Amino acid sequence: MSLENILSFARSVLEKVVEPGDIVVDATIGNGHDTLFLANLVGVTGHVYGFDIQEEAVHETKKLLMSNDLLSCTTLLHTGHEHVLKVIPKDQHSRIKSAIFNLGYLPKGNKSIITKPETTIYAVHQLLKVMVSGGVVVLVIYYGHNGGKLERDALLRYTSSLDQKKYHVLQYAFINQMNNPPFIIAIEKRGKQ
């Protein structure tokens, strides 16, 4: 048996849920790898909305998508994920099938620009309200930086308090690794599918 690493597991969860034609969200586009992954899953009939507060991230992701001929099925937004429902057209809210958040800071970027617990929880809460039944939010939580443990603890409190009749919440982590290893929280919206 071979256990999946954190990023591989996150993608496995998304692959089980996302289908061609779906509407999905990359809440922290970073270097664009998850945006590209999601764009390949939804194809030309679906759409990926990508968010990042750093212009550099939006620029690099756009280049990556263009080089893979997938820019047409994406909308990249230079804004925080807390604005998710303000910028995604209202008629598409109830079609959102999945979202991924890679929390922390932009790899190889400015480590003082980090995700914040208030905006992350607000964005997750908004997405869960409108997401289709059977939809999933995946949180990849990196916390080995200033402010990371605060966000980790806030997210654990928030997700642990979600009503089990409405949501399944999974935590996937390697518990014997040093140096604050990242972990995943996956939230599935229950109900008729």
Q: CA 79 to CA 77: how far, in whole Å?
A: 6
Is residue 158 domain-resident?
A: yes
The reported pTM is 0.95
Q: Assess contact for 15 and 193: CB atoms under 8 A.
A: no
pLDDT digits (tens, 9 = 90+) for 170-185: 999 999 988 899 999 9
Is residue 1 domain-resident?
A: no
Number of domains in the chain: 1
pLDDT at 113 over 90: no
Is residue 102 domain-resident?
A: yes
| Segments forming the whole domain that contains residue 143 | 6-189
pLDDT value, residue 193: 47
pLDDT digits (tens, 9 = 90+) for 47-96: 999 999 999 999 999 999 999 999 999 999 999 999 999 999 999 999 99
CATH of the domain at 95: 3.40.50.150
Q: CA 166 to CA 153: how far, in whole Å?
A: 22
Is residue 106 domain-resident?
A: yes
